[in-house]
Amino acid sequence: MPAVRVSSLTETSLHLDETDLHYFCKALESRAGIALKPSKQNLVQTRLRSRIATHGFKNYKEYRQYLETLPDDHPEWESFTNSLTTNKTEFFREPKHFDFLAHQILPQWLKTHQKTFKVWSAASSTGEEAYTLAMVLDRHLPKDRDFKILATDVDTKVLKTAQNGVYHISKKMEIPEEYHSTCLDIGKGNVRGWFRIKPHLKEKVIFKKHNLIEKTFPGENVFDLVLCRNVLIYFGPESVDFVQRKLYYTVKPGGYLFIGHSESFNGLKHQWSSVGPSILKKAE
């Protein structure tokens, strides 16, 4: 089919009816755990418009009928999921978590005489959280200790940005000044207006696609700290329960989990102990 220009697809020429909306929402929840409410119709309508344009479909119904014919491993499902995933993030977001890491978790961990502090950023988006962790750990760990960060996301598009490690200079203001000289390379000449994460930090972070609601695990490691922040608010109760149990399994005894400040496990049966706002600990 010939491609249709995105600009030709207007609100008046496209209408997302209840049947198509229900199908798209259920497909997203089954694939990524994200539970969109009917009130998010405009969001779904706007974000899927590019997929309709790409394939040259006339409306959402044709796109829905196309998806219904596809096998589960078809590349279009990845594009569908990427289109509907929300990826709002920033460096040093919810900074009290990083203060707790530096001044509470690390001093305790250093007493164990372990050599490598292992972290999982479980919804890493475009990489700001993972690189923030790298900055903090690099600054606060002694030279005879190491760290490794696994950063995962279901959205392959944002993972490419994260792996590149290059950001617009406007995001520099999110990073405390004491980290600038040791962690950032500021662009000059034809890359003026951008900065990159220094190589010695980038090499500590591995980015990988992973779906939190799948029964698989992203690696064989058991982690000292897991961050799963500001993603569970998009999940339904059953998915939240599944994910918290999965994360509990991946954390070492005595290890920690950070969730978003607007998230909680209230109403769920779980084994975590609360040690601070949105900070949970696994029993030793």
pLDDT of residue 203: 97
Least confident of 44-53, 98-107, 256-265: 44-53
Quick check: helix, strand or coil at residue 172?
helix
Task: Convert the pLDDT of each residue in 127-141 to its tens digit.
Answer: 999 999 999 999 999
Prediction pTM value: 0.78
Under 8 Å CB-to-CB from 236, ≥6 apart: which residues? 29, 33, 35
Rounded CA separation 100/92 (Å)? 12
**Torsions phi, psi for 217 (to 5 deg):** -115, 150
Task: Convert the pLDDT of each residue in 22-76 to its tens digit.
Answer: 888 888 887 777 777 777 788 788 888 888 888 888 888 888 899 889 888 888 8
Instruction: Give the dihedral sign, CA 261/266/269/271.
Output: positive
pLDDT of residue 12: 43
| CA proximity to 191, closest of 175, 222, 157, 167 | 167
Measured CA to CA in angstroms, residue 190 lies from 144, 161, 187, 193, 194 at distances of 38, 19, 8, 9, 10
List, in order of start, the domains of the chain with CATH numbers: 6-84 (1.10.155.10), 96-166+197-281 (3.40.50.150)
The answer to whether the CB of 228 falls within 8 A of the CB of 257 is yes
3-state secondary structure 82-150: HHHCCCCCCCCCCCHHHHHHHHHHHHHHHCCCCCEEEEEECCCCCCHHHHHHHHHHHHHCCCCCEEEEE
Rounded CA separation 191/155 (Å)? 26
| CA proximity to 90, closest of 172, 160, 5 | 172
Average pLDDT over residues 220-238: 89
